């Protein structure tokens, strides 16, 4: 009898938990690229989506727009992740400077196709670091290929050695912007792991946060509440037990629910 009631209770609980999970929106996460590998991403992205109430799903690198569309048909939002430098010649018409880092051409074309297809269908998109830069380049903006050698007057360390969940330089956040509304902050210390940055902002996008040297640290699509990018790594804080940027992921999940018509 006792065994039976434990069994029944377990069944009811797992049914409830399954129902809760099955009702959550699926947040696609863009893959990184390795020689002959795809779908590898830091667990911090996956953990942040979980903590915000979404189901994380890594999207493989595929050079096929029809297949990417079919994947997007089955998910509710996209996170564009951090990684390599972006090929300047191919994607914004600049010769590469000497201080450029490594590039991943297969990932560039996949990322650009994925974000264009997602934004085209008004799907929520969060760009992080390289993903934020990809957002800008995909819609006609340019980058500093290397901040120290190209941004006059910048002497701010954007490549910290401190832990990922520790903020090392401050940013000012524009009042009323998505980042302001998501975090409730108008200034904050962020982590910084980049040597490239948004230079000319893409048409149809605005700057929503800047560092003290003028480097752009956040952007968003004008007239949209669901397409935005950050140069720093909110997932490192969120997965690292610091809730300062949990609101960024919660907003993405809430927009993902709105996108698929669920309250």
* Footprint on this chain of Mn ion (rule: CB under 5 A): 158, 192
Decide whether 71 or 210 has the Cβ nearer to Mn ion.
210
Which among 132, 158, 194, 235 is annotated as catalytic? 235
Listed in sequence order, the residues at least 6 apart from 35 whose beta carbon sits closer than 8 Å to its beta carbon are none
Decide whether 48 or 191 has the Cβ nearer to Mn ion.
191
- Strands (DSSP E) found in the chain: 26-30, 32-34, 37-40, 55-59, 77-80, 125-128, 143-144, 169-173, 187-190, 197-198, 205-211, 216-221, 227-230
Decide whether 142 or 192 has the Cβ nearer to Mn ion.
192
CB of 27 to Mn ion, least distance (A): 24
Would you call 235 a catalytic residue per the annotation? Answer: yes
Would you call 233 a catalytic residue per the annotation? Answer: yes
CB of 248 to Mn ion, least distance (A): 16
Q: Which helix (H) or strand (E) holds 159?
A: none
Distance CA 156, CA 190 (A): 13
Residue count of the chain, please give it: 263
CB of 156 to Mn ion, least distance (A): 7
- Residues marked as catalytic: 129, 233, 235
């Amino acid at each position: 009898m006792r065994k039976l009631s434990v069994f029944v209770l377990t069944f009811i609980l797992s049914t409830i938990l399954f129902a809760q999970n099955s009702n959550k929106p699926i947040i696609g996460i863009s893959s990184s690229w390795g020689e002959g590998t795809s779908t590898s991403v830091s667990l911090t992205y996956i953990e942040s989506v979980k903590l915000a109430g979404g189901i994380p799903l890594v999207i493989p690198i595929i050079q096929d727009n029809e297949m990417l569309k079919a994947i997007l048909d089955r998910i509710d939002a996209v996170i564009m992740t951090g990684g390599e430098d972006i090929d300047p010649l191919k994607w914004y018409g600049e010769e590469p400077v000497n201080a450029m880092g490594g590039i991943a051409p297969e990932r560039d074309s996949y990322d650009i196709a994925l974000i264009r297809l997602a934004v085209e269908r008004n799907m929520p998109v969060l760009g992080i670091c390289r993903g934020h830069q990809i957002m800008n380049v995909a819609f006609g903006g340019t980058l500093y290929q290397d901040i120290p050698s190209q941004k006059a007057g910048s002497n701010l360390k954007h490549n910290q050695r401190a832990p990922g969940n520790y903020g090392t330089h401050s940013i000012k956040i524009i009042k009323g912007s998505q980042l302001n509304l998501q975090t409730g902050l108008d200034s904050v210390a962020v982590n910084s792991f980049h040597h490239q940055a948004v230079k000319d902002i893409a048409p149809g996008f605005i700057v929503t946060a800047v560092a003290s040297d003028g480097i752009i640290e956040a952007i968003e699509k004008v007239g949209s509440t669901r397409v935005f990018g950050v140069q720093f790594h909110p997932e490192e804080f969120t997965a690292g037990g610091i809730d300062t940027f949990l609101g960024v992921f919660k907003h993405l999940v809430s927009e993902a629910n709105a996108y698929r018509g669920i309250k």
